[in-house]
């Protein structure tokens, strides 16, 4: 037991290396921009003040959203998704998968789950010993099930999911703005220093070029680093904006969620505006701030495609309640979820992505399940 514990401790320590690296780069960029560029290189006071004010705005928002992503604890399923003690003992005693599935189906009737594994079975995590809510997956790195899991990001040493996905998208946005602002404002000085580097004697340097000082290295390297990070972050940020617009996670983009009638990659799509609202909230003044404002509870999600499920019961058209075997589902919609169930819910994706054997209805608040 001791060696395995030591290994886990080493793994936890090593997992912080990417975070430490990012913070060291950011600290150096702060010194290079504020001290070496603005103080030692720029002679115009007005230009210095403007550069420093805008820089600190982007820097503060970047650091705020980055650390919110890091420290936000991934949301995990509640105890109600764990098997009752008696059913758990029966499940562990059964040797046949079919018999185990019957036990899971009996428990799942009382839970708001509507998606399946690729083979149509109830999704169950043997590691966490619980029935997985819709869009929940097990993270092997964190060793836990995470609600609406998107991916595990080593650069934040955390799982990106329901509890911090908004923070992660804002972190990408502000890091991109931080890099492009640095690159844009440093460019003219980068050109002057680069020209200077090609001259051996300072006395032969034209008047419009800068003298050869210790700031030269920092300014030159700062432009290269900012441009490199901007290019790499731009593609990742664009991809996640596309995911937000489609109301998908990274996992769902590679493997479509499976419903009773088969996989449907657009099953959670409610239209662009409501997809964005589900992640960023219904108060636009909070969209740009790394404050938690996502809608829902992480267990149930409005969906676009509905068909009567004989095992799970009927789902009412308004999305106000679900019935299971004639009984009202114990999980009513939260007030924030009801905001997603207003008018104009049809999206453009509905026109060309509805399976032929699934009836297109207005969104209903039920949950979906993806195979981990």
Residue 137 host element (H or E)? strand 137-139
Q: Answer whether 91's CB lies under 8 Å from 103's CB.
A: yes
Residue that the structure tokens 């108060």 belong to:
283
Question: Is residue 370 within 8 Å of 134, Cβ to Cβ?
Answer: yes
The residues assigned a catalytic role are: 153
Nearest to 55 by CA among 148, 183, 146, 242: 183
Residue 70 has which token pair?
């890091």
Beta-bridge mates of residue 303:
364
Which helix (H) or strand (E) element contains residue 191?
helix 165-197
Q: For residue 320, what is the DSSP state?
A: S
Bridge partner list, 8: none
Helix (H) or strand (E) holding 192: helix 165-197
In whole angstroms, how large is the CA radius of gyration of the chain? 26
Nearest to 128 by CA among 72, 75, 73, 76: 76
Helix, strand or coil, per DSSP, at residue 145: strand
Instruction: Classify 25 as helix, strand or coil.
Output: helix
d(CA 171, CA 166) in angstroms, rounded, equals: 9
The answer to whether residues 301 and 149 touch, using CB atoms and an 8 Å cutoff, is no
Which residue, 247, 362, 248, 369, is CA-closest to 306?
A: 362
CB 305 within 8 A of CB 359: yes
Residues in CB range of 148: below 8 A, 6 or more apart: 75, 135, 136, 161, 162, 165, 249, 298, 301
């Amino acid at each position: 037991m001791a060696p395995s514990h030591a290994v886990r401790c080493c793994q936890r320590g090593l997992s912080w290396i990417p975070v430490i690296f990012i913070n060291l780069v950011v600290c150096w960029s702060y010194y290079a921009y504020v001290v070496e560029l603005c103080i030692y290189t720029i002679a115009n006071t007005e230009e210095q003040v403007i550069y420093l004010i805008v820089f600190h705005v982007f820097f503060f928002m970047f650091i705020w959203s980055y650390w919110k992503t890091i420290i936000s604890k991934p949301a995990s399923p509640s105890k109600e998704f764990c098997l009752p003690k008696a059913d758990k003992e029966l499940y562990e005693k059964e040797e046949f998968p079919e018999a185990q599935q019957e036990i899971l189906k009996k428990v799942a009737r009382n839970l708001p789950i509507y998606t399946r594994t690729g083979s149509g079975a109830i999704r169950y995590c043997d590691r966490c010993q619980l029935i997985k809510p819709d869009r929940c997956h097990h993270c092997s790195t964190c060793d836990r099930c995470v609600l609406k899991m998107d991916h595990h990001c080593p650069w934040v040493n955390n799982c990106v999911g329901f509890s911090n996905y908004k923070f992660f998208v804002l972190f990408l946005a502000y890091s991109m703005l931080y890099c492009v602002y640095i690159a844009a404002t440093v460019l003219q000085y980068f050109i002057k220093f680069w020209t200077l580097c090609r001259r051996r004697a300072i006395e032969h340097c034209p008047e419009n070029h800068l003298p050869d000082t210790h700031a030269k290295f920092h300014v030159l390297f700062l432009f290269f680093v900012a441009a490199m990070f901007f290019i790499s972050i731009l593609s990742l940020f664009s991809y996640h904006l596309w995911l937000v617009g489609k109301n998908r996670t990274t996992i769902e983009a590679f493997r479509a969620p499976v419903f009773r009638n088969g996989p449907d990659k657009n099953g959670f799509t409610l239209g662009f505006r409501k997809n964005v609202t589900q992640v960023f909230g219904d108060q636009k003044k909070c969209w740009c701030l790394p404050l938690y404002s996502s809608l829902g509870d992480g267990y149930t999600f409005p969906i676009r495609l509905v068909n009567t499920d004989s095992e799970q019961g009927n789902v009412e058209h308004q999305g106000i309640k679900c019935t299971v075997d004639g009984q009202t589902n114990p999980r009513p919609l939260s007030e924030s979820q009801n905001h997603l169930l207003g008018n104009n819910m049809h999206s453009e994706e509905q026109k060309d992505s509805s399976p032929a054997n699934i009836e297109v209805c207005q969104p209903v608040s039920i949950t979906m399940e993806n195979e981990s």
